Structures are given as C-alpha cells and as structure tokens.
Amino acid sequence: MLKRHFCFSREAGTDEAGRGCLAGPVTAAALILPSTFENALLNDSKLLSEKKRIHLKPILERDALSFGVAHIYPKEIDKINILNASILAMHKALEQLTTLPEFIIVDGNRFKSFKGIPHKCIVKGDRKYMSIAGASVLAKTARDLYMEELHKEYPMYNWKQNKGYPTKEHREAIRKYGITKYHRKSFRQLPEQLTLKL
C-alpha cells in the first residue's frame, strides 16, 4: 500500500518517463497531493494499464494542490545527456508548482538541489509514495499523448504503440527508414552500432 507522505504534509513527488526511449522527449511531472487524498487504484505507472492511467490523470489533476509537467526534447538530451535532461525536466515541472513544497521526494537515486528545498531520493519511490506514483502517471500520460501526435507525422515507426521505446519493430523501422529529427542522436539506435567492422 502506498504511503501518503515521507515526512512533510506539503511535499512534492517527482518522477520522469521516457528515459530509455530512442525517440521523443524525456518527460517529468511534479505533484503535491492533499493529506486527505486517497485512491486505491494509484500505483507506479509502469504497473498500470493505459486505461487505468488515463482514468487517474484527471483525478490527480483535479485533486492535487498543485502539479506541473515538463518535456525536455532530443536536441537538449543529446547536448546534456539523459541523466541531466531527466533532472532538468523534474526541475522544470517543479517550477510550475503554484504551491511551494516544504520537501521534495524524487523517484530514483540521482537529483540536484532545487531552490534549496530539502529533498530525498527514493529508489522505487513510485511504488512507495502516492505523490511520486501520481507524478509517474502524469509524466507517462503526457509523454504518451505527445508521442501519439508525433506518430501522425511519422507513422512508419508506430510511436502510438511503442512510444519511442527500443522495441524490435521500432529498430526495424530505423534500419529501413533511418532516424528522424525526433530521435536521440546520442543514443545507440541499433544494436550493431556497438560492433566494429574490421
């Protein structure tokens, strides 16, 4: 069962989606939930079906004290690397909060201080705390919608289905059609890019 808070009642949970993708942005969300918030369905977005995530999105947005969502796009990812881009996306999501948190809880093990607000990194935090789980749902649903829009421009990669992740189908399309402006050029797009032709 998810816990309401780590230590403060006004704490923001933050998480990202799309870190391991070959195409599209890395997206983060930040979320402050009221101390009375309850939802039995809420969990880490990776453990929920798309239908359940879509059901939860408006509930979280309605009931949150404040929330923010931010994308960092491939050009910036290639420039600063995916870890820094993920943290930057979290910072940009936190900047959108209209209520200043007393504390920030972060999914994972890496973060950079945001405006001097105390924070704690929690491995698998999206399976332990409501605000991080909620942020994971908001980040995932926002990113999925964005990738579905990109799919209309490049349907051959089937981003509406794979969302830019390195599926066999996505890699076959890269092999056949090459990469687009939405692909991350600093990522290994095809497995054979590791092999040396001597």
Tens of pLDDT along 11-22?
999 999 999 999
Q: How many angstroms separate the CA atoms of 11 and 34, rounded?
A: 9
Decide if 101 is inside a domain. yes
Q: Are 118 and 103 in contact (CB under 8 A)?
A: yes
The pTM assigned to this predicted structure is: 0.94
Decide if 197 is inside a domain. no
Tens-digit pLDDT profile for residues 86-120: 999 999 999 999 999 999 999 999 999 999 999 99
Q: How many angstroms separate the CA atoms of 153 and 126, rounded?
A: 32
Decide if 137 is inside a domain. yes
Decide if 168 is inside a domain. no
Q: What is the CATH number of the domain that holds 116?
A: 3.30.420.10
Tens-digit pLDDT profile for residues 19-59: 999 999 999 999 999 989 999 999 999 999 999 999 999 99
Q: How many CA atoms lie within 13 A of 77 on its CB side?
A: 25
The answer to whether residue 1 scores a pLDDT higher than 90 is: no
Decide if 71 is inside a domain. yes
The 103-107 sheet, strands edge to edge: 66-72, 26-32, 11-17, 103-107, 119-122
Decide if 169 is inside a domain. no
Which residue range is the domain that position 36 belongs to? 11-143
Decide if 173 is inside a domain. no
Q: How many angstroms separate the CA atoms of 12 and 192, rounded?
A: 41
Tens-digit pLDDT profile for residues 68-92: 999 999 999 999 999 999 999 999 9
Number of domains in the chain: 1
Tens-digit pLDDT profile for residues 134-188: 999 999 999 999 999 999 999 999 999 999 999 999 999 999 999 999 999 999 8
Decide if 122 is inside a domain. yes
